[in-house]
């Protein structure tokens, strides 16, 4: 298929042409699915807000809904977003924004289609809320960097082919200045992945040990010491929920409403009626705010408001899941999959349709993953409300002099 025109008016025609060339009913094996996705990427229909040549057309993000609707109606395969959440929400936008031509050519097509899976190596046991305090060290050795350290809360690292990695390359400068951003092949010698079991029984998260792992300098993203600025770009994209348009009555509110609607009318406790109505309004407000943030992102990089959206989304999900558990009453903490240890092959962020018990337990992590609610409140205070910053004594001194 020849490159498609980069206009909104051509989207529907080009999407139907793609379907005619690759009929969904002929997608019978996994390789067929990848062939279709690669053709979609090459046609600029993967993510229309991506640049031409990298799966998009440089159009506003909202035009993607037209493409997605036509493909869904035809039963076309998708790239299984829940399986590649780091690819789409974090690694992809950052590589597009700061990668070299060689890096974008090498990674973006396989990243979007899901042929390669990515994880995020940011947080550490001693640098979670204070990410800039990370101590994983990268030392230059010729054309390579030698990296040693430990990362934690790494989503789906047990399945990842590559990782986005932050490491300290210069401890002699203040902590925010001495960090560099790398792209790591997770199959490299010296990489060890161990699971972290959650209260749901799942181990979506892992801890990763790096023991003198060699990373070619060609896998450095951006300039040396530019890691903190790029990390903020990554986290803003993650917090904005940049992968897809928020679904109405999706997530915890769906669980709550399903529980309520399945309860016979004569057994519904009227005391919960107003609480459920308020929860619905709160969930809808978060959904609409998400759409507004996505539209703003279409005009440029994510704004600090993405942090406010993430905070509101996390706290709303927790509150709604708690209410769903309360209305479920006896047996509410049970969930069909049980609590036995297992490592899933996708990130269960979308808990639409899951039991009240599972939703309650899983949403506890919402206010930790992707930035804790406490840190997000500081960001809102300082970057949106312009309130005075909290006094800090460790931001202007060399990292080697910061107490740890």
Residues labelled catalytic: 238
What gap in Å lies between CA 191 and CA 182, rounded to an integer? 14
CA 200 – CA 198 distance, rounded (Å)? 5
Cα angle for residues 307, 309, 311 (degrees, 5° grid): 70
At residue 145, φ and ψ (nearest 5 deg) are -115, 140
Please state the separation of Cα 82 from the chain's center in Å: 9
118-121 vs 162-168, strand pairing mode: parallel
Distances (CA, A) of 340 to 334, 348, 403: 12, 16, 40
In 10 A of CB 357, how many CB atoms?
Answer: 21
- If one counts every other C-beta atom within 10 angstroms of the C-beta of residue 273, the result is 11
- Going by DSSP bridges, is the β-strand pair 137-141/179-185 parallel, antiparallel, or unpaired? unpaired
CB atoms under 10 Å from CB of 108, counted, come to 25
Cα dihedral value 378, 383, 387, 390, nearest 10: 40
């Amino acid at each position: 298929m020849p490159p498609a025109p980069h206009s909104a008016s051509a989207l529907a025609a080009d999407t139907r042409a793609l379907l005619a060339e690759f009929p969904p009913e002929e997608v019978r094996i996994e390789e067929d699915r990848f062939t279709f996705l690669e053709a979609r990427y090459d046609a600029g229909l993967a993510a229309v807000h991506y640049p031409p040549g990298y799966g998009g057309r440089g159009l506003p993000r909202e035009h993607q809904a037209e493409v997605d609707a036509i493909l869904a109606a035809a039963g076309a395969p998708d790239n299984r977003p829940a399986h590649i959440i780091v690819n789409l929400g974090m690694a992809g936008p950052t590589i597009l924004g700061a990668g070299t031509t060689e890096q974008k050519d090498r990674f973006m097509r396989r990243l979007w289609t899901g042929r390669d899976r990515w994880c995020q190596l940011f947080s550490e046991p001693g640098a979670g809320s204070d990410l800039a305090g990370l101590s994983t060290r990268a030392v230059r050795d010729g054309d390579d960097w030698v990296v040693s350290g430990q990362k934690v809360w790494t989503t789906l690292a047990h399945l990842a082919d590559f990782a986005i990695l932050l490491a300290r390359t210069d401890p002699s400068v203040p902590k925010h200045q001495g960090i560099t951003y790398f792209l790591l092949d997770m199959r490299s010698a010296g990489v060890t992945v161990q699971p972290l079991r959650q209260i749901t029984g799942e181990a979506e998260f892992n801890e990763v040990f790096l023991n003198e792992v060699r990373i070619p300098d060609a896998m450095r993203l951006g300039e040396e010491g530019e890691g903190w600025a790029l990390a903020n770009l990554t986290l803003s994209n993650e917090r904005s929920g940049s992968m897809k348009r928020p679904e109405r009555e999706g997530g915890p509110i769906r669980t709550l409403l399903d529980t309520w609607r399945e309860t016979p009318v004569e057994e519904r406790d009227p005391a919960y009626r107003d609480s459920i109505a308020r929860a619905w309004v709160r969930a809808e407000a978060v959904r609409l705010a998400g759409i507004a943030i996505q539209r703003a992102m279409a005009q440029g990089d994510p704004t600090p408001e993405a942090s406010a959206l993430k905070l509101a989304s996390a706290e709303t999900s927790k509150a709604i899941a708690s209410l769903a558990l309360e209305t479920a009453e006896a047996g509410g903490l049970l969930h069909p999959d049980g609590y036995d240890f297992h490592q899933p092959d996708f990130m269960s962020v979308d808990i639409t349709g899951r039991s009240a018990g599972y939703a309650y337990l899983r949403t506890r992590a919402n206010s930790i993953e992707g930035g804790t609610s406490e840190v997000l409140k500081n960001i809102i205070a300082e970057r949106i409300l312009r309130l005075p910053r909290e006094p800090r004594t460790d931001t202007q001194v060399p990292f080697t002099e910061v107490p740890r």
